[in-house]
Amino acid sequence: MRLLNCFQLSALLLCLGVLSGCVTGERWNNVTDHQLIQRDKAMILSPAQAITVPAPAVKSSAPIPPGDLSELSVEKAVLLALHNNRDLKVRQQTPVITGTFEQLERGNFDPELFVDTEYFKERAKETSRSSGEQFSVLGDEVATEAGLRQLLPTGTTIEAGLSQGRTVSNRAPEQQTARLGLSVTQSLLRGFGPAVNLASVRQAELDTLASVNELRGFSEALLADTEIAYWNYILAKEEIAIFETSLAIARKQREEIELRIDVGILPEIEVAAARAEEALRVQALINARSLLEERRLHLLRLISPGPEGRLDQAFTAISDPRLAPEPITDLTDRLQLAEQSRPDLQEARLRLEQQRLETVVSRNGLLPKLDFFIALGKTGFADTVSDSFREMGGNTYDLSVGLSLAYLLGNRTARAQNLAAHASRQQALDAVANLQQMVQLDVHLAVNEVERSRLQIDASRATRIFQEQTLAAEKERFDVGASTALLVAQAQRDLLQARINEIEAIVNYRIALVKLYLAEGSLLDRRGIRIAAEELAEKLL
């Protein structure tokens, strides 16, 4: 897999799908359950394979939604959150930062250009071996060397250099020396082979991919929170409408009773229940309006509209939560989809691969350090600099070949690192297995909640219809004097609760679907939204 540098990773933002802003209908059925499951069933891989599978990207021509919130659909709310949410903007920088570590690790294999210059001056005394006399020696030496060295992933260090030196002494004539040298050092045990030397690069790459999965997981959670906040706002809005209608009915009922009392049809005691019921409706309406404001603020915080993300903006939510509920009959396919798509599970598998690479490095560290080296040079000697280079073509050379062995007695550091690496890998294996089980549990629980909410829609609708009939019957009995205002108020209260239960069941079904898609790891795909990492990488490389 090709790596992304830090500049390319700066393009790892959210590629938005074709979602329209101000629409009232359901516009997210462009990816069906069957299509999504069949596409991903062929990609259910082992943890090692899953690492190298590029994520497909969905191109988008949808414009960034405007800050006008006069008509706010759930689709537009999601787009605003993905474009403007402050938490997401913070987290989008994590893959960029993490991607720089790939380049840091690859930098160890960059060629190095070096230049060394040295000046040496000597004043000493020497003794002549023939006469035994002492004499003074004055001399100086200038040496300059330039070359290129590089460490290769095979564990090979190559160095090529060209040097030139000048030696002057009162006991010998001036001498110019030129040398062209090449040396190769190859690790034979510790540090041998690409598997060990590229492990840190591969770990950094996996860390980048893990951060992309982490960003995907956060984006899915943000999308789910935004949808849930939107539907909760719709629920609070619907409840206010129900409470206002109920208050109007309670007030009208109280006025009718007071009128009947004035004309002597009913005793004065009958008005107490009607007035209490009206007061209860006022209390409920106050609480409902407060809840609506709380949910409005929460939704605005998620979508952060406008350049300053102010929380005093008004908006009108226009999406209808009502839809035709369908039973879930493909639990097995959804479990397989979650196995492939859940970003936290993919991240855990990447961490497991990192731990496997760490065991490769730590196992290699147990070996002795044994290096083979060879150095070859051609040297020229003359009185002038230019002649010294020309003389390099003569029959003068130097050659050295050898082995270098080093081993720490006991080697406790390497043994401890190897033990820790294997324990960490086993821990990562157990963590992946545990997370797989948790993912299955999440999907089972989400499916169970969707089915419960689906069945509650019909049940709550039936309850509301029967409560309407009960209230109508109670009013007829009251009109003929066979019932009391208290019984009518109780019937009105039961109907009010039934209506609230019905809209709650509808909204809860919407929310349960969102949580199911989140448990599957398919929420972004179903909404036509992708993190287009691989597509952008191919364009930039």
Q: State the burial class of residue 253 (Cβ atoms within 10 Å of its Cβ: 0-12, 13-18, 19+).
A: buried
C-alpha dihedral (129, 130, 131, 133), degrees to nearest 10? -20
Which class in CATH covers the domain with range 6-105+199-235+303-357+419-540? mainly alpha
Helix (H, G, I), strand (E, B) or coil at 21: coil
CA distance 442 to 96: 31
Range of weakest confidence among 10-19, 99-108, 299-308, 314-323: 10-19
Q: Let me know how long the chain is.
A: 541
Q: Under a CB-based contact definition with an 8 Å cutoff, are residues 65 and 21 in contact? A: yes
Q: For 392, how many CA atoms within 13 A lie in the half-sphere containing its CB? A: 18
Average pLDDT over the chain reads 83
Task: Mark 180-205 as b/e (b = at least 16 C-beta within 10 Å).
Answer: bbebebbbbebbbeeebbbbbbbbbb
Cα–chain-centroid distance for residue 107?
Answer: 26
Task: Say which residue the tokens 């690496």 belong to.
Answer: 421
pLDDT band at 28 (very low <50, low <70, confident <90, very high): low
Paired residues of 378 in beta bridges: 180, 397
pLDDT greater than 90 at residue 311? no
**Summary count for the chain: helices (H), strands (E):** 16, 8
Answer left, alpha or beta for residue 411, where phi above 0 means left and psi between -120 and 50 means alpha: left
pLDDT greater than 90 at residue 10? no
What's the pLDDT tens digit per position in 336-354? Answer: 999 999 999 999 999 999 9
pLDDT greater than 60 at residue 41? no
- Please spell the DSSP secondary structure of 304-329, one letter per residue: --SSS--S-----B------------
Helices 485-520 and 271-303: crossing angle in degrees, nearest 10, is 20
pLDDT of residue 54: 30
pLDDT greater than 60 at residue 5? no
Residues 6+ apart with CB under 8 A from 137: 122, 123, 124, 125, 126, 169, 170, 171
pLDDT greater than 70 at residue 49? no
Residues 6+ apart with CB under 8 A from 222: 81, 82, 85, 87, 88, 302
Cα–chain-centroid distance for residue 200?
Answer: 21
CA distance 536 to 541: 9
Task: Say which residue the tokens 């009773």 belong to.
Answer: 257
pLDDT of residue 124: 77
16 or 298: which carries more pLDDT confidence?
A: 298
Average pLDDT over residues 366-380: 92
Answer left, alpha or beta for residue 455, where phi above 0 means left and psi between -120 and 50 means alpha: alpha
pLDDT of residue 454: 95
Domain boundary assignment for the chain:
6-105+199-235+303-357+419-540, 113-198+360-412
Q: Which three-class secondary structure string do you get for 407-459? A: CCCCCHHHHHHHHHHHHHHHHHHHHHHHHHHHHHHHHHHHHHHHHHHHHHHHH
Average pLDDT over residues 118-123: 87
pLDDT greater than 60 at residue 239? yes
pLDDT greater than 90 at residue 296? yes
pLDDT of residue 445: 97
pLDDT band at 2 (very low <50, low <70, confident <90, very high): very low
Average pLDDT over residues 174-187: 91
What's the pLDDT tens digit per position in 452-489? Answer: 999 999 999 999 999 999 999 988 888 888 888 888 88
Tokens describing residue 237: 């809005």
What's the pLDDT tens digit per position in 220-230? Answer: 999 999 999 99
- Give the closest residue to 461 by CA, choosing from 506, 412, 410: 506
For the beta carbon of residue 153, count every other beta carbon within 10 angstroms: 15
